[in-house]
């Protein structure tokens, strides 16, 4: 066991810190889930890319800097400590990109990844449908082969598509053998889907923004009416979309979507907020303070649990169903952290103008955590069945 | 950065687990509830033979000169089998300081944990107080027996009489941190065992014509307990590393370990009892042996909230 970072890792940390100190926008950018906010965020993404900080762990010829997993964690810690903007590109770089690295051809990687890294292409996720949420394998949007045109024609509807109203591209699952799925026979529900990469600015695509709980147009419904997708925009094999998509859910739940740095930074800010409130004459509430300490311990626990996971990944292990415990833990921790801030703010908590408005915004965002990326009820089933070995039926 | 134990550390852990699986079965723990001493002598002898008792003793004194990091997994195993022996007090606290030797054992008390355990059969009695460490042979102290909910834990209020401190306050702090660490490790093992027992049970027990482990209500209880444990372990291992390297923040790190492992064991015990149903509410079922040990250790060496407040002092120090 060696709990110190190497000299070059510490060097990397101070370079990142220095760059962020100079470059993080002040005051903070408005929400990236509105059209004008999204545009401002893209400018920030471009600045990150130009400094080669947008995708540090990617190969350098694709826009990254070949950072190790440890350096990526260091980058994330510094990023969130610096109060840098939420990444509006996250669903591309954290969810789709790992899948392209694993399943994409070399040509797809060269064609798609640099533009994702620069923010020229922005990606949203097209999984949920009106009748398929937790039961993702129940999707009915479909793709029909158009051999003469060398591609597929999509029809159907996706929903709850985060930032779908602003993104240029969508990655999603479509059924390529609807009869097999309907009959329940082999290849069955899970073996009749294909993973498609779809350009949204084209005939047949209709995007309708949906106002989210926090009032932003952060969701979208995306309708497909005879939308053409060429063969080179199929990721992985035809009818193999389910296993390709499951690789993405692994990243969404586990290591890459919500790094510990994010919660460590929030816990730190919560402690500062508590001190400020007391300094400005607020009453000291021992019970709330105990819960703040617990939330800070939990953020540390997440950090060290991640360090253990990364050590094993570096040793060559594969991440498994443990990622469901990770998703349960950070999503519920996030809610507790933001709730505590609202407790400290008391009657000021409801204000969505002024200096504290970001806490209510963050609370509303945190409440989505136990729902997206597979609800926490589904995660508990996964933990019980695949970590503890309880019977499915 | 490398946050993982070495192959050697895992191998030694596995060897100890094998030995304890033979010498400290639930039947042995039950035996300790009913015998004169409350202890499990064959397990103790086996741990001595394997060198566990002297792992942290200096090599000059015939020990192995190892660290907290080397013993933490072993202590987790002693929790897993609810070993009724003063292993934390002896191997982790007394042996490194030369307060005990050989197969002898030590009993330790302190303001946060005022009762010595198995004190009447220990060679050395140690108290930790604000003015330093006192060590005395058992014969020279006065003991008043108390009864624990855990029938194997023989508790004693200790009167050290006129014994003067032999070690400075810094030794008190180190001994305290070691005790907190060892107790945290045992709680992890207890939590793991209670989850494992319960998983085994719900895979067998049938109601409504199906295994009760197929019910989501049962699955979710166990998933919660397992997740809590997943995020307790790393803080105990990190605290062990901090003690081994004499990290300046080791005190805070052991407090974090104790908070997290106490809460993990507490939840594991509740979930285990609930999922066992009425059979778990009997003393015929082995669960109570592990559950009651957890109840005791959750509060020994500072309960979770006591440690949270210790941490608060450093986090909010500028208030």
- Of A356, A376, A371, A364, nearest in space to A335 by CA: A364
Look-up: residue for tokens 């833990």?
A329
pLDDT beyond 70 at B318 = no
> Which of A53-57, A182-186, B14-18, B303-307 has the least mean pLDDT?
A182-186
| Least Cα separation, residue A221 to chain B (angstroms) | 32
pLDDT in tens, B26-46: 999 999 999 999 999 999 999
Q: Tokens 């626990």, residue?
A: A301
**CB pair distance less than 8 Å for A391 and B256:** no
Which of A12-26, A126-140, A269-283, A312-326 has maximum average pLDDT?
Answer: A12-26
Q: Do B256 and A297 touch (CB under 8 A)?
A: yes
Q: Which residues pair with A209 in a beta bridge?
A: A220
Is-contact B103 B53, C-beta < 8 A? yes
pLDDT digits over A198-233, tens only?
999 999 999 999 999 999 998 999 999 999 999 999
Place A267 in a pLDDT band, splitting at 50, 70 and 90: very high
Distance in angstroms between the alpha carbons of the first and the last residue of chain A: 41
Residues 333-352 of A with CB under 8 A from B: none
Asked whether the beta carbons of B129 and B172 are under 8 A apart, the reply is yes
Packing angle, helices A106-118 and A35-50, rounded to 10: 110
**Prior bond to A27 cis, omega within 30?**
yes
Mutate to test the interface with B, among A274, A281, A299, A308 (most CBs of B within 10 A): A308
Q: State whether B1 and A4 contact (CB < 8 Å).
A: yes
Provide the pLDDT for residue A247. 77
- Burial class for A282, CB neighbours closer than 10 Å (0-12, 13-18, 19+): middle
Give the angle subtended at the CA of B20 by the CAs of A322 and A388, to the nearest 5°.
Answer: 20
Query: What is the mean pLDDT of the segment spanning A290-298?
Result: 98
Q: What is the secondary structure of A166-184 as a DSSP string?
A: T-SEEEEEEES-HHHHHHT
Strands B210-211 and A219-230 come out as: unpaired
Tell me whether residues A325 and B308 touch, CB distance under 8 A.
no
Give dist(CA B78, CA B87) in Å, integer. Answer: 8
Q: Do B3 and A307 touch (CB under 8 A)?
A: yes
H/E/C letters for each residue in chain B?
Answer: CECCCCHHHHHHHHHHHHHHHHHCCHHHHHHHHHCCCCCCHHHHHHHHHCCCCCCCCCHHHCCCCCCHHHHHHHHHHHHHCCCCCCHHHHHHHHHHHCCCCCCCCEEEEECCECEEECHHHCCEEEEEECCEEEEEEHHHCEEEEEECCCCCCEEEEEECCCCCCCECHHHHHHHHHHHHHHHHHHHHHHHHHHHHHHHHHHHHCEECCEEHHHCHHHHHHHHHHHHHHHCCHHHHHHHHHHHHCCCCCHHHHHHHHHHHHHHHHHHHHHHHHHHHHHHHHCCCCCHHHHHHHHHHHHHCCCCHHHHHHHHHHHHCCCC
Is A186's pLDDT higher than 60? Answer: no
pLDDT reading at A109 higher than 90: yes
Domain locations along chain A: 7-88+106-118, 123-247, 254-387
Cβ-Cβ pairs closer than 8 A, A with B, add up to 142
Mean per-residue pLDDT for B233-248? Answer: 98
Residue B317: the pLDDT is 77
B1/A289 touch (CB, cutoff 8 Å), yes or no? no
Fold classified for A123-247: Butyryl-CoA Dehydrogenase, subunit A; domain 2 (2.40.110)
The answer, yes or no, to whether residue A251 has pLDDT greater than 90, is no
Answer with the residue of higher pLDDT: B268 or A256.
Answer: B268
| Whole-number pLDDT of residue A246 | 85
Is the pLDDT confidence value at A182 over 70?
no
Interface of A with B in 289-308 (CB under 8 A): 289-290, 293-294, 296-298, 300-302, 304-305, 307-308
Minimal Cα distance from B314: which residue of A?
A: A293
B230 with A325: Cβ contact below 8 A: yes
Q: Which residue of A has its CA nearest to B9?
A: A1
Q: Other CB atoms closer than 10 Å to residue B139's CB: what's the count?
A: 7
A314-328, B5-19, B88-102 — which is least confidently predicted? A314-328
Option in B3, B216, B259 nearest A1 (CB) = B3
Contact B141, B159 (CB under 8 A): yes
Q: What does the DSSP assignment read for A74-94? A: HHHHHHHHTTPPP-TTHIIII
Q: Which CATH class is domain A7-88+106-118?
A: mainly alpha
The alpha carbons of chain A give a radius of gyration, in whole angstroms, of 22
Active-site residue (options: A76, A77, A240, A252): A252
pLDDT at A183: 59
Query: For position B225, what pLDDT does the model report?
Result: 99
Q: Determine the average pLDDT of the residues in B217-240.
A: 98
Name chain B contacts of A327, Cβ cutoff 8 Å: none
Distance CA A48, CA B38 (A): 64
Distance from CA of A2 to the nearest CA of B (A): 5
Per the listing, tokens 């045992």 go with B186
A143 pLDDT exceeds 90?
Answer: yes
d(CA A39, CA A33): 10
> Over 70: is that where the pLDDT of A185 sits?
no
- A304–B213: do the CB atoms touch at under 8 Å? no
* Interatomic CA distance for residues A195 and A241, integer angstroms: 4
pLDDT at A184 over 80: no
In words, the CATH class of domain A254-387 is mainly alpha
- Tell me the shortest Cα–Cα distance from B220 to chain A, in angstroms: 5
* Cβ neighbours of B310 in A, within 8 Å: none
Q: Which of A283, A299, A371 shows the shortest CA–CA distance to A338?
A: A299
Strands A151-158 and A123-126: unpaired
**Which among A134, A275, A300, A375 is the top mutation candidate for probing chain B, defined by the most B β-carbons within 10 Å of its own β-carbon?**
A300
Q: Which ipTM was obtained for this model?
A: 0.97
How many degrees, rounded to 5, is the angle at CA B23 between CA B19 and CA B25? 110
pLDDT digits (tens, 9 = 90+) for B199-220: 999 999 999 999 999 999 999 9
A300 is known as an active-site residue: no
On the 0-12 / 13-18 / 19+ scale of CB atoms within 10 A, A123 is buried
- For A70, which of B1, B6, B69 is closest by C-beta distance? B1
- Can you give the pLDDT at residue A319? 80
Mean pLDDT of A368-375: 94
**B152: exposed, middle or buried (Cβ count in 10 Å: 0-12, 13-18, 19+):** buried
* Closest Cβ opposite residue A293 in set B211, B220, B315: B315
Helix (H) or strand (E) holding A235: strand A234-235
Interchain proximity A383–B226, CB inside 8 Å? yes
| Cβ <8 Å between B256 and A300 | yes
For residue A257, what pLDDT is reported?
A: 73
Indicate the DSSP class of residue A2. Answer: B
Q: Where are the alpha helices (DSSP H) in chain A?
A: 7-23, 35-50, 69-81, 90, 97-103, 106-118, 178-183, 241-253, 260-279, 286-314, 322-345, 357-366, 376-382
Which among B218, B245, B318 is the nearest to A275, CB-wise? Answer: B318
Nearest CA distance, B4 vs chain A (angstrom): 5
Q: Kindly determine whether residue A297 and residue B227, on different chains, have CB atoms separated by under 8 Å.
A: no
DSSP state of A129: B
Give the pLDDT confidence of B64-81 residue by residue, as tens digits: 999 999 999 999 999 999
- Report the distance separating Cα B251 and Cα B249, nearest Å: 5
Which of B199, B234, B302 best probes binding to A when mutated, by most A CB atoms within 10 angstroms? Answer: B234
What residues 218-247 of chain A have any CB closer than 8 A to a CB of chain B? none
Q: Using DSSP, state whether A197 is helix, strand or coil.
A: strand
| End-to-end alpha carbon distance in chain B | 34
CA distance B296 to B190: 12
Q: Is the pLDDT of residue B158 over 60?
A: yes
Q: Cβ of A311 and B219 within 8 Å? A: no
Q: Is A4 on the interface with B (CB under 8 A)?
A: yes
Q: Which of A5, A298, A391 is facing B231, going by the closest CB pair?
A: A298
| CA-based nearest residue to B222, from A173, A387, A134 | A387
List the single best residue of A4, A72, A276, A304 to mutate versus B (max B Cβ within 10 A): A304
Q: Does A329 touch chain B (CB under 8 A)?
A: yes
């Amino acid at each position: 066991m060696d709990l110190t970072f190497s000299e070059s890792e510490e060097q990397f940390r101070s370079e990142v810190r220095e760059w962020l100190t100079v470059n993080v926008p002040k005051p903070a950018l408005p929400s990236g889930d509105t059209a004008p906010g999204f545009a401002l965020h893209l400018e920030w993404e471009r600045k990150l890319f130009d400094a080669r900080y947008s995708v540090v762990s990617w190969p350098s010829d694709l826009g990254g800097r070949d950072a190790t997993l440890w350096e990526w964690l260091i980058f994330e810690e510094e990023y969130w400590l610096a109060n840098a903007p939420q990444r509006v590109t996250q669903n591309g770089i954290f969810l789709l990109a790992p899948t392209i690295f694993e399943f994409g051809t070399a040509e797809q990687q060269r064609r798609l990844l640099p533009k994702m890294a620069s923010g020229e292409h922005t990606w949203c996720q097209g999984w949920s449908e009106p009748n398929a949420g937790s039961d993702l394998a129940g999707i009915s949007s479909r793709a029909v082969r158009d051999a003469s045109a060398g591609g597929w024609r999509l029809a159907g509807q996706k929903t709850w598509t985060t930032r779908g109203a602003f993104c240029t591209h969508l990655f999603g699952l479509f059924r390529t053998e609807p009869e097999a799925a309907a009959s329940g026979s082999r290849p069955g529900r899970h073996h009749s889907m294909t993973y498609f990469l779809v350009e949204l600015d084209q005939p047949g695509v209709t995007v309708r923004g949906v106002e989210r709980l926090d009032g932003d147009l952060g969701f979208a419904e995306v309708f497909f009416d005879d939308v053409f997708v060429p063969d080179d925009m199929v990721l992985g094999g035809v009818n193999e979309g389910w296993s390709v998509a499951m690789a993405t859910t692994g990243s969404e739940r586990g290591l890459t979507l919500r790094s510990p740095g994010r919660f460590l930074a929030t816990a730190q800010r919560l402690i500062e907020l508590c001190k400020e409130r007391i300094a400005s004459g607020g009453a000291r509430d021992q019970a709330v303070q105990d819960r703040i300490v617990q939330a800070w311990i939990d953020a540390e626990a997440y950090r060290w649990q991640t360090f253990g996971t990364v050590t094993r990944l570096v040793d060559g292990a594969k991440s498994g169903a443990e990622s469901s415990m990770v998703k349960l833990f950070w999503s519920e921790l996030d809610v507790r952290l933001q709730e505590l801030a609202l407790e400290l703010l008391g009657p000021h908590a409801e204000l969505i103008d002024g200096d504290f408005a970001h806490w209510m915004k963050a609370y509303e965002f945190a409440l989505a955590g136990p729902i997206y990326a597979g609800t926490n009820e589904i995660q508990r089933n996964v933990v019980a069945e695949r970590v503890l070995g309880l019977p499915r039926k | 950065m490398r946050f993982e134990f070495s192959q050697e550390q895992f191998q030694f852990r596995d060897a100890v687990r094998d030995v304890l699986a033979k010498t400290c079965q639930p039947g042995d723990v039950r035996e300790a509830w009913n015998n004169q001493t409350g202890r499990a002598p064959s397990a103790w002898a086996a741990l001595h033979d394997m060198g566990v008792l002297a792992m942290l003793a200096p090599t000059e004194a015939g020990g192995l000169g190892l660290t907290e990091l080397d013993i933490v997994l072993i202590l987790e195993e002693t929790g897993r089998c609810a070993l009724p022996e003063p292993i934390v007090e002896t191997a982790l606290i007394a042996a490194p300081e030369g307060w005990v030797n050989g197969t002898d054992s030590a009993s330790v008390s302190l303001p946060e944990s005022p009762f010595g355990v198995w004190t009447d059969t220990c060679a050395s009695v140690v108290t930790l107080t604000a003015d330093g460490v006192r060590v005395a042979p058992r014969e020279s102290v006065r003991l008043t027996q108390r009864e624990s909910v855990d029938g194997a834990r023989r508790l004693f209020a200790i009167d050290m009489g006129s014994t003067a401190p032999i070690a400075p306050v810094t030794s008190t702090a180190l001994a305290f941190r070691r005790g907190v660490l060892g107790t945290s490790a045992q709680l992890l093992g207890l939590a793991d065992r209670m989850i494992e027992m319960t998983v085994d049970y719900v895979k067998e027990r049938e109601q409504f014509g199906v295994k009760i482990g197929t019910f989501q209500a049962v699955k979710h209880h166990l998933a919660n307990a397992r997740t809590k444990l997943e995020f307790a372990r790393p803080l105990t291992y990190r605290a062990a590393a901090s003690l081994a390297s004499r990290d300046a923040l080791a005190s805070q790190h052991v407090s974090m370990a104790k908070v997290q492992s106490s809460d993990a064991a507490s939840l594991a015990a509740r979930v285990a009892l609930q999922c066992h149903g009425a059979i778990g509410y009997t003393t015929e079922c082995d669960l109570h042996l592990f559950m009651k040990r957890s109840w005791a250790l959750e509060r020994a060496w500072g309960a979770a909230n006591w440690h949270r407040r210790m941490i608060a002092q450093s986090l909010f120090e500028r208030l």
